[in-house]
Structure 1
Amino acid sequence: MITALITYVIDPSKVDAFEVYARAWIHLVNAMGGTHHGYFLPSEGANNKAWAMFSFPSLAAYETYRKEMAQDAECQRAYAHAKDTGCILSFDRTFTRPVLDGATVQELGL
């Protein structure tokens, strides 16, 4: 499994527009074979940072998604919304490997 962690710099006066974008991508990623773990919008602290996380079973599955989304009309509408509203100033995408199972300290030999 591969998980993308996206850090956004957003326009703090356009959080509502960014939330529309976020809700669209949660639906789109899930519809296209991924598992979206949500968007995390500013609440307290920095008012111009947001994060998203979503997973695909493999890097190959993610690459297939990227090819398909480039041709998908709904995906292009979501991108156009962000561009038209100017809600996203920049973003950084990092790929991670999740650790999802816990273990007791005894099982871990600690």
Structure 2
Amino acid sequence: MITVHLKYEIDPDRIEDFEEYGRRWITLVNRFGGTHHGYFLPSEGDSDIAYALFSFPGLAAYERYRADSAHDPECQEAIDLARRTGCIRRYERRFLRPLDQGPR
């Protein structure tokens, strides 16, 4: 399994646009065979940082999602929403793997 961790720098004045963007991607990632673990929005502290986590069974499945989503009209609409509104200033993407407990 591979988990993608996204850290977003968002425009706090466009939080509603970012929330709509996130709602769309939760549905889209799940539709493409991933498991979306949610978006985590500012509450206390920094007002311009948000996070998202989603997983795929492996790197090959993630790469298929990336290739397929690049041509999907709903994915392109979600990307266009972020560009049009400027709700995302920048983002960082990290790939994580879960720690297997293994034998004790």
- Give the superposition deviation at 1:77: 0.2
Stretches of structure 2 that go unaligned for 5 or more consecutive residues are none
* Matches of 1:99 and 1:66, distance apart in 2: 25
Q: Percent identity?
A: 55
The AA in structure 1 aligned to 2:60 is A
CA RMSD, aligned part only?
A: 1.4
Q: Distance in 2 between matches of 1:22 and 1:98?
A: 23
**For residues 73 and 14 of structure 2, what CA distance do their matches in structure 1 show?**
24
Match runs of 1:21-100 below 5 Å = 21-99=21-99
How many residues align? The count is: 104
Which TM-score applies when normalising by structure 2?
Answer: 0.95
Cα deviation digits, residues 2-53 of structure 1 (max 9, x gap):
0000000000101110000000000000001000000000011000000000
Q: CA deviation at 1:100?
A: 7.0
**Quick one: which amino acid aligns to residue 62 of structure 1?**
Y
| TM-score of the pair, normalised by structure 1 | 0.90
**Higher gyration radius (CA):** 1
User: Unaligned stretches of 5+ in structure 1?
Assistant: none
Q: How does 1:10-29 map to 2 (within 5 A)?
A: 10-29=10-29
1:46–1:60 distance in 2 versus 1, CA, 3 Å: same
